[in-house]
A and B are shown apart, each in its own frame.
Chain A
Amino acid sequence: KKFLDINDDPNNPLTVKESLMLSPVEVATASQVMGGASNSNTHIVSYWMQHLSLNQQAPNLESYFFTNVDANSAWDGVLYTTIFQNLQVMMQQATAAKRYQYVAIGKTLFAYNLAVTTDLWGNIPYSEAFCMPEITKPKYDSQESVYKVIGALLDSAIYYMDLTPNKVAPGGDDYIYNGDMDQWKKMVYTLKARYALRLTKAPGHTAAKQADEALAALAKGYGSNDDNAFVAYPGTGNASNPWYYVTGEASGGIVLGQSFVDSLKSRKDPRLPIIATKNKAGEYVGRNVNDAPVPDPEMLSFVNTFYAGAGSKLYLLTYSEALFLKAEATFIKQGAAAAEPIYKAAIAAHMSVLGVLPGAQQAYIAARPALTAANALEQIISEKYIANFLSPEAYNDWRRTGYPQLKPYTGSTAKGIPRRWLYPATEELTNPQPDQKATINDRVWWDTNN
């Protein structure tokens, strides 16, 4: 009998410390959720937002040919497993050991990714999730309740940040803030503002109340570009920014969207050369989803190295976004004139990150039309759309506000830009739920008419 007892795995541990769990979750959040890894949520919605275009024959992901299999990897491979499950275990372990900083960071990252998940799918499993082996078919919670969870997680994160720190503290394993709890706290407050404004049109919520909440949170949020949350990539072979891999030569022609390039051109935006490459003819040319593929993709503009270099930073939350949130909330509460300076500061903040010289920043900002009650929301969100290049926040804002106005792909099978994701095929297989009837043209709870 003893002879056969050799089945303990000598290669892989059964428990690991929190620091070993935190690092992969942060990188997964950067590379796989917010980054462009193939089939990542951000990658796909960047086509729909026409930041990017795929120089290939329709129908494809860009032209809304989206199957439930396309949703598998984000849900199965990244969000529920790599991120939520590991954060869940990390937080349990850290709570028991009173390593509160890990609990706090865990809750922040959990809330951040939970919002990504519910924004894509609406109702999602949470309350019955992560109860293996007791529950194998977790029920779906309403998006409204998930947003309450997000709020509670962020409040709880702040609570743990205020407890006496443990000596076993995050450091180099925290790629985002190197264990700096003050920075994390600012991020939590900025996120609270982001999610408050997300619900400006949600049933049972009013824009004014959401704006109040956002402004209150932002007072404790980001104060400068130094606060920006990002993961830096060394840029060596196996440790490069995901957009570098995915927009590279083998991509099949992932280029910039035409409306995006044209709008930057028409505004004489100094960020264009930083965001885009010139084509073979020395021009900035984006691709329209309704056009036939260009045989030679070198006739189009690719994503330039600020966003898609091997060693580029991947931003999770920026000061610029905080200012755009503040501008919008201020507009709601106090009107266009009050919002204008904040809106301009938001543009400048983004330009500074991109390295645009102050003179060029001011020239661009001065050429913007003044904000009015009629145009303020469109102006703010359209500028935010540029600052949120390759961020899923552009998609969330577009759904919520309708800005910028995009011309959808009009092929025979398409019914406009999708307003949500299909549930993954694996989920339909293993956990059938009535919610799964939703099509890509249905809306999530907070996405009401616009």
Chain B
Amino acid sequence: PSVSGKITGKDGAPVPGASVRVKGANTGAAAAADGSFHIAAKEGDILLVTAMGYNTYEIKVTKNGVVNITLEENSRQINEVLVTALGIKRDKRMLTYSVEEVKGATLVEAKQDNVVNALAGKVSGVQITNSSGVPGSSARIVIRGATSLVGNNQALFVIDGIPVDNSEAGNTNGAMYSGGTMNRGGDIDPNIIESMTILKGAAATALYGSAAARGAVIITTKNGAGKGKQGKPNLSFSSSYSFQNAILPKFQDKFAQGSDGKYINGNNVKGSGSWGPAIDTLKVNGVPVKKYDPFKEFFRTGHTSDNNINVSGYTDRSNYMVSYSYLNTQGTIPNTDYSRHSLFAKYGVKLLDNLQLSTQFNYIQSDNHRYLEGNNFVNPLWTIYGAPISWDPYPIVNEDGSQRLFRLGRNNPYWILENTGLRDRNSRIIPVVTLSYTPLPWLTITERIGADMFVTTAEYHEAPGAVGWGNNGSTPVNGQMYKRDIKSQQFNHDFMVEARKEFNSDLFGSLLLGNNILTNYNDNGLVQGVDISVDKLYNISNFADVTSTYTYARTRKVGFYAQANLEYKRMLTLALTGRYDGSSVLSKENQFYPYGSASAGFVFTEPLKMTDNPIFSFGKVRVSYSAVGNDNMSPYSLSNPYFRASPGVNFPFNGQNGYTLTNAYSFPLRSEKMKEFEIGLETKFFRNRASLEVSYFNRKSTDLLTPSSPVSAATGFTGIAVNAGAMQNKGVEVSLGVTPVKTANLTWNINVNYTKIDNKVLSLAEGVNYIQFAGFTNPGIFAYANQPYGVIYGNYYLRNENNQMLIDDNGYPIISTNLGPIGNSTAKWLGGVTSSLNYKGLMFSFTLDHRHGGDVINLDNSYLYFYGTAKATENRGTTVVLPGVKQSTGKENDIPIVLDQRYYQESYSKANETSVEDGSFLKLRQVSLSYDLAPTLLKRTGFRSLVLSVTGTNFILHKNYTGSDPEVSLSGSGNGQGFSNFNVPSNRSVLVGMKVSF
């Protein structure tokens, strides 16, 4: 005789893992993922149901053998079920490592096009950096600091157990000359997210293998279960609309175009400088010179609309959800936009009592129009930021059709808007099928297959007449275009067997064994055409000179993994994980590599019987050690092939193809290794009204995969592919949660997080002190031994041993002819505060985010100080004695100089160090007020709920930075952080939204 049934909470959601035992007998069972259970019992037996966070429940078995049990939450205990690696749900109380969860609703509330940005300021240990204010810009997420020199340092993204791509395709001419593109993680629609779990340390992610050595973002999608009434479809609709305005840097608005104080009008005499006379009193032939605002004319108010419709429902055997969202952002620069359709459908069904099937797919299509950012003349911001205030930008063209501009050799920004453009389209599908079989109450076998497939097409076009850098740093004056198609397919398979055993009421154990196969196929085809035949027809066949490249790449990974957990009296947990991975990208003799972790958690308040203590009710210490591997490199890095040549011209040249040998000589490569020690304290106070979690970690990565560590070019190669170098991150993460007020009508929550990471590059390849990994050679972004990652490198003012500036005999500082470190982009600490105040249906919330330190090289300065449009150049004409000592005499400088055109052009703008600025900021990321109409008000409307909201983003931006926003990166989500050059400014937005459910 057996009894079956389902265990749910009061909200109808299943309670997986709930333990069912027959009182007085040894038989026991655990509830499956959907809450169902089977147990051998006869009529009259008493079932004892226990689950973490719930009160123990007793029920007598009746004749029909079916019992459905609704558990009541135990208010005293904490019940935070979190999704951990491989989608395994666990009670936070018993975890042995640091995990933080962000609810989907919070992500939606943040109102960010890119879901990565929605995490900003909310989680400790995590640094989010948005790259630019252009629609479709990427955002970077690094957990616990950079661990790899040149490989990917971003967290792994996992949706419902399937690793998904979060790469950034980038632009073909490189980030420095073109800026970034969307990171693929930005495809994910926040509306479908139930929760996001951030697994920070290696102990938490070891099961994911090498891909997650950098931390993981585990996204669990909504499934429709437990919402609304059983058996009835629930329909909800949400809509928001926002207005964005660019946060512009400040520019000088006092001096007209000219040189040495003499006015030139830019029409018959051209010139790049705004070093003319004061415009207020300037008259030409008795007529005052008109003043223009180059920005007001150019930037417009951006708009974003975001609409989502969602239908879901469930019965006791199945659940479904269908969601469709459409997001459309019109940027602050004309013709820039980003739109995204996202369709998500999920269906779960119990095929048999012990066989659960879940299928889902997510289809996303995005379309992005933008202009090149960065150090490229076809970036319109170049001649907006550099425009003299006395210049009328209209008309755009001269009578002969050529561009009209105040200077030579650059483009009219409005002409750029009409005659160039970058379009990036992406279609992506992410299907997942999970089959879960529970042949025995304590045994679950899961097979999960998923894929992530996308096609990205980037097209750039440029009309004849553009002054550009085009290909090979050249100027194809006859028009050009390129089209790049990337087809990426990733397939993931996991087969897992999990056994859970309650040995007795005190001892619980679980064992998981699994196999993972991950394959990736990537097709990348690029065609470039120059010399357009018929104007405005941007089809590759309309170009006289066409070249193309194509690459195909495959990688495969196989992993075997195991995890064992032992839990004693809900106060002590021991966990062991191990994994053995093989990766196709590594040398054959080193393809396979093992790793694992050991960790323990101890709830010390339990033996101290403090659970009922009104002040200090919960305390846990946890400690873990892990050693993981990482195959952070591209395929085909082990051979020394020839590449098609491009020695200043593109091959084929004159009908002849050509090849040159690779520049990087490859040695055999093995996996990168990372060892991490983590210790943490979790506490709850005042009847769970306050909580404090502190983690300390110390991770060291060694054998860093360096595909091109510099070597003397006299060897015939400029780099060698080696395992070289080590990097260390030590850090403290603090999360504090306080609920100062909690009454029936009023709840106030505050969450504070703090992160301090001490990052250091310990060593590089033997005999090498620094390597460049981003930026220009000068200025660039480098890694230096014994300094934090992300050194800004360039020339500087010479100083003596007391750090006093050396001054030459003319009173000017002396610019170094050597180059060296002039800043560091790694932040000193990060902090965030989120708070919500709930009064009846009215909710006020905000997120504050602070970054302390971390330099940014604002390369705009080196141009704008030269042109004389930087705000600071308004002090022109002032006489100063620069602080420092005279190089010739060693005496204190006493030579006055005039801060004039010569000073700014010959000295200030020539030293890279003057462009390095403090990247600290304090941002009010989001502040919102929403009203949830009481059900009584909605009674006759047919709505089940109606929420109205108003949100503002970036209302406060406190900074020392002279550009738009120090949270900026010309490298997009790449490693070269702290570099800015004519990036699109960040936005401040106001948004109104509503959400109704029926």
List the A side residues contacting B408 at CB < 8 Å. Answer: 249, 253, 296-298
How many residues from B make CB contacts under 8 Å with A?
A: 104
With a CB–CB cut-off of 8 A, which chain A residues contact B653?
A: 23, 27, 239
- Whether the Cβ atoms of B641 and A27 lie closer than 8 Å is no
* A10, A68, A69, A82 — most chain B CB neighbours (10 Å): A69
Within 8 A of A (CB), among B792-821: 795, 808-810, 812, 814-815, 817-819
CB-CB contacts below 8 Å: A406-427 with B: 412-413, 424-427
Bound Cα distance from A78 to B655, whole angstroms: 22
Is A183 among interface residues, defined by CB-CB distance under 8 A? no
Complex contact A82–B647 (CB within 8 A): yes
| A21 CB contacts on chain B under 8 angstroms | 658-660
Tell me if B584 and A295 are in contact (CB < 8 A): no
Q: How far is the CA of A389 from the CA of B342 in the complex (A)?
A: 62
User: Does B104 belong to the interface (CB within 8 Å)?
Assistant: no
Partner of A242, one of B271, B648, B817: B648
Q: Are A129 and B475 in contact (CB under 8 A)?
A: no
Contacts of B778 in A (CB 8 A): 67, 69
In the assembled complex, how far is the CB of residue B380 from the closest CB belonging to chain A, in whole angstroms?
15
Mask: chain B, 518-531; 1 = CB below 8 Å from A; 0 = not: 00000000001011
B651 touches A23 (CB 8 A): yes
Q: In whole Å, how far is A304's beta carbon from the nearest beta carbon of chain B?
A: 17
In the complex, what's the smallest C-beta–C-beta distance from B40 to chain A, in angstroms?
43
CA distance in complex: A249, B470 (Å): 13
A41: min CB distance to chain B, Å: 13
Stretch at the interface among A130-138, A258-266, A367-375, A396-404: A130-138
Closest residue on chain A to residue B473 by CB atoms: A38
| Chain A residues closer than 8 Å to B591, beta-carbon distance | 1, 4
Q: Is B75 an interface residue (CB 8 A)?
A: no
User: How far, in Å, is B412 (CB) from chain A's closest CB?
Assistant: 13
Asked if B898 is an interface residue, CB under 8 A from chain A, the answer is: no
Q: For B468, what are the chain A residues with a Cβ–Cβ distance below 8 Å? A: 250
Q: How does the 8 Å CB contact mask read for B648-673 relative to A, with 1 for contact and 0 for none?
A: 11110111111111110101000000
Q: Is A75 interfacial (CB 8 A cutoff)?
A: yes
Whether A237 contacts B545 by the Cβ 8 Å rule is yes
Q: For chain A, what secondary structure do more than half of its interface residues adopt (helix, strand, loop), or is it mixed? A: loop
Count of A-B contacts judged by CB separation below 8 Å: 282
List residues of A (158-206) whose CB comes within 8 Å of B's CBs: 172-173, 175
Q: Which of A133, A412, A431 contacts B712 (CB 8 A)?
A: A431
B658 touches A20 (CB 8 A): yes
B648 close to A236 (CB less than 8 A): no
Binds A, one of B83-91, B534-542, B632-640, B726-734: B632-640
In the complex, are the beta carbons of A8 and B654 less than 8 A apart? no
Contacts of B585 in A (CB 8 A): 7
Which of A29-37, A222-230, A268-276, A332-340 forms contacts with chain B? A29-37
Contact present for B273 and A69 (CB under 8 Å): no
Question: Is A237 in contact with B480, judged by CB distance below 8 angstroms?
Answer: yes
Contact across chains for B269 and A296 when beta carbons are under 8 A apart = yes
Tell me, rounded to whole Å, the shortest Cβ–Cβ distance linking B492 to chain A.
15
Given A16-B659, A21-B660, A6 and B556 touching (CB < 8 A)? yes
Instruction: Tell me whether A358 is interfacial, beta carbon within 8 Å.
Output: no
Q: Mark B83-107, 1 if CB is under 8 A from A, else 0.
A: 0000000000000000000000000
Chain A residue at minimal CB-CB distance from B651: A24
| Neighbouring B residues of A449 by C-beta, 8 Å | none
What 0/1 pattern do residues 249 to 287 of B give for CB contact below 8 A with A? 000000000111000100001111100000000000000
Within 8 A of B (CB), among A272-302: 292, 295-298
Report whether A7 and B476 are in contact in the complex, using a CB–CB cutoff of 8 Å. no
* CB pair A129 B636 closer than 8 Å: no
In the bound complex, what is the Cα–Cα distance between A31 and B473 (angstroms)? Answer: 13
Within 8 A of B (CB), among A10-28: 10-16, 19-21, 23-25, 27-28
User: Does B645 sit at the interface, judged by CB under 8 A?
Assistant: yes
Bound-state CA distance A78–B649 (Å) is 13
For B326, list chain A residues within 8 Å (CB): none
Q: Is A306 in the interface zone, CB < 8 Å from B?
A: no
B958 at the interface (CB under 8 A from A): no
For A295, the chain B residues whose CB sits under 8 A away are: 258-259, 264, 269-273
Q: Is the CB of A234 within 8 A of B713?
A: no
CB distance B769 to A429 under 8 Å? Answer: yes
Q: Is the CB of A67 within 8 A of B654?
A: no
Out of B639, B659, B819, name the residue touching A425 (CB < 8 Å): B819
CB distance from A223 to the nearest CB of B (A): 26
List A contacts of B556 (CB < 8 A). Answer: 3-4, 6
Which of A11, A16, A76 meets B551, CB within 8 Å?
Answer: A11
For B376, the closest partner residue in chain A by CB is A250
Q: Which of B260, B545, B711, B866 contacts A238 (CB 8 A)?
A: B545
User: Quick check: is B550 within 8 A (CB to CB) of the other chain?
Assistant: yes
Q: Is the CB of B641 within 8 A of A13?
A: yes
Give the interface segment out of A83-91, A142-150, A376-384.
Answer: A83-91
In the complex, A426 Cα to B657 Cα: how many Å?
A: 30
* CB pair B643 A69 closer than 8 Å: no
B residues less than 8 Å from A137 (CB atoms): 712, 767
Please indicate the chain B residues that have their CB under 8 angstroms from the CB of A251 in the complex: 409
Q: Is the CB of B777 within 8 A of A81?
A: no
Q: How far is the CA of A205 from the CA of B789 in the complex (A)?
A: 53
The CB with the most chain B CB atoms within 10 A, among A1, A4, A8, A14, is that of A4
CA distance A328 to B169 in the complex (A): 59
Residue in A14, A21, A249, A292 with the greatest tally of chain B CB atoms within 10 Å: A249
Name the one of A16, A67, A72 contacting B642, with C-beta atoms under 8 angstroms. Answer: A16
Give the docked Cα–Cα distance between A245 and B648 (Å): 10
Does chain B have a CB within 8 A of A66? Answer: yes
The answer to whether B584 and A31 have CB atoms under 8 Å apart is no
- The stretch of A45-53, A57-65, A316-324 in contact with B is A57-65
Which of B258, B264, B716, B812 contacts A84, CB < 8 Å? Answer: B716
Give min CB distance, A61 to chain B, whole Å: 12
Q: How far is the CB of B38 from chain A (nearest CB, A)?
A: 38
Question: Which residues of chain B come closer than 8 Å to A237, judged between CB atoms?
Answer: 471, 474, 476, 478, 480, 530-531, 544-545
Q: Quick one: given A5-B584, A237-B480, A253-B409, are A24 and B716 in contact (CB under 8 Å)? A: no
- Smallest beta-carbon distance B178→chain A, Å: 16
Whether A6 lies near B795 (C-beta < 8 A) is: no
Interface pair A10/B717, CB less than 8 Å apart: no
The reply to whether A67 and B647 form a contact with Cβ atoms under 8 Å apart is: no
| A127 vs chain B, min Cβ distance (A) | 10
Q: Are the CB atoms of B658 and A23 closer together than 8 Å? A: yes
- B641 partner residues in chain A, CB cutoff 8 A: 9, 11-14
B582 is an interface residue with CB less than 8 A from chain A: yes
Nearest chain-A residue to B769 (Cβ)? Answer: A429
Chain A residues near B354: list those with CB within 8 A. Answer: none
A133 adjacent to B718 (CB under 8 Å): no
* A430 CB-CB contact with B under 8 Å: yes
CB contact between A136 and one of B409, B477, B659, B712 (< 8 Å): that residue = B712
Kindly list 18 other residue pairs between chains A and B, CB separation below 8 angstroms, not including A76-B718, A427-B713: A20-B659, A24-B659, A37-B473, A57-B906, A66-B817, A69-B778, A77-B718, A78-B647, A88-B716, A124-B714, A132-B717, A172-B654, A173-B658, A242-B648, A249-B408, A252-B409, A295-B270, A427-B714
User: Could you pull out 11 A-B pairs where Cβ atoms are within 8 angstroms?
Assistant: A5-B588, A24-B647, A68-B817, A78-B647, A80-B715, A136-B711, A175-B656, A233-B649, A237-B478, A297-B408, A298-B408
Sorted from nearest, which 4 A-B pairs have the closest CB atoms? A237-B530, A31-B648, A85-B716, A24-B645
Residues of A within 8 A of B (CB): 1, 3-16, 19-21, 23-25, 27-28, 31-32, 35, 37-38, 57-59, 65-69, 72, 75-82, 84-86, 88-89, 124-125, 128-133, 135-138, 172-173, 175, 232-234, 236-240, 242, 245, 248-253, 292, 295-298, 412-413, 424-427, 429-431
Chain B interface (Cβ < 8 Å from any Cβ of A): 258-260, 264, 269-273, 377, 408-410, 467-469, 471-478, 480, 528, 530-531, 544-545, 547, 550-558, 582-585, 588, 591, 635-636, 638-643, 645, 647-651, 653-663, 665, 667, 710-718, 720, 767-770, 777-778, 795, 808-810, 812, 814-815, 817-819, 866, 902, 905-906, 910
